[in-house]
Amino acid sequence: MDDLIIEKTKFTLAVCFSASTGVLEMEGSSYPEHAFEFFTPIFEWLQRYVEQGPRPVQLTVLFDYLNTSSLKCIIDLFKLLESHAQNGAEVAIHWRYQIDDEDMLEAGREFAEDIQIPIHFHPV
């Protein structure tokens, strides 16, 4: 399985998923006109990864801004990871946020209420 690398643009996140290590990183802002189209290859890659069995996943995110449709895609991504964890995989989510960005901290806290995987918060 190949790694997934998506370069950051003005409207979309940088994405780096390593198939060999299970390290997933997403960083930047996400407000594309068609968020679901942007996130489709991410979901497809992650679905193929989790279908290979209970392999560990470490997701680290650092978001500057997420529009409403991107927020929906992120919660769907977290739900997929939650299902993976329920199937016996070791899953960790690290939510990095700018120390003065209360909105992103609050968004992370809201996600933490919606899923059964602990989210670890890290100010930067």
Contact 6, 41 (CB under 8 A): yes
Handedness of CA 40, 46, 49, 52 (dihedral sign): negative
CA distance 64 to 6: 17
Residue pLDDT tens, the chain, 124 long: 899 999 999 999 999 999 999 999 999 999 998 999 999 999 999 999 999 989 999 999 999 999 999 999 999 999 999 999 999 999 999 999 999 999 999 999 999 999 999 999 999 9
Distance of CA 105 to the CA centre of its chain: 15
Per-residue model confidence (pLDDT) at position 74: 96
Per-residue model confidence (pLDDT) at position 1: 87
CA of 3: how far to CAs of 10, 23, 40, 47, 57, in Å? 23, 10, 15, 13, 13
Distance of CA 2 to the CA centre of its chain: 18
Fold assignment, 4-123:
Transcription Regulator spoIIAA (3.30.750)
Domains of the chain, residue spans: 4-123
Per-residue model confidence (pLDDT) at position 121: 97
DSSP summary character for residue 7:
-
CA distance 104 to 62: 9
